[in-house]
Structure 1
Amino acid sequence: MMLEEFIEIANLLDVYSELLSGKQKEYMIEHFENDLSLSEIAKNNNVSRQAVYDNIKRGINLLNDYESKLGFYKKKKKLIQELKNLKDNYSIEKLDKLIDEII
């Protein structure tokens, strides 16, 4: 997995983790946020490496599906960029426009 993909999944996990099953969420946080290997996660949870892999794979598919349907992460990225632009080029008109877009 490329670094960009890894970071993207970690960001999607931040947005949608509460929609995953308990084990998917746990394994994915351990892998993507705590940087544990599949073998380490399996050992810590007394399950097979394959079980961890399957849960993470299903979790990734779910995160991508949620994002394609809901788009919250894309909206969050856009809002952050617009706030950075506003910070660099502040005007009350630009702030009002951004507020109108959000509401």
Structure 2
Amino acid sequence: MTDPATRIAYDVEQHVGQLGQEDGARLQLDRLTPRAPNECSGAFKAQFDRVGMLAVWCYNASGQVVGGGTTSYISRFIDLKETWVVDKKPGETLTMTLERRGGRAVVTAVR
């Protein structure tokens, strides 16, 4: 059992190995989502914080927060040089762009 933030972190971790090892290599991750059966199926907000934390808020149809979670696990395999806050409508997913810099995977965009 995982929370919405940890599900996104696991998804990013699973794909970050596809990023080339040479500096300047780029990779776009599509369809990142906090959803699970009967959980976080509506709109959601994700905050990728430059301190290395990911927070997710899940909303119901009335706009009330009905779940979410936080994790710093994501900072083990990506660096966040700035804070990204993204609001998604029901059915939408996140897209993240990574670039290899100094041997590390650095987030350059989140949409």
Q: TM-score, normalised by structure 1?
A: 0.25
The structure carrying a bigger strand percent of its residues is 2
The structure carrying a bigger helix percent of its residues is 1
Who wins on radius of gyration, i.e. which is larger? 1
Q: Which has the higher contact order (CA 8 A, sep 6+)?
A: 2
Q: TM-score, normalised by structure 2?
A: 0.24
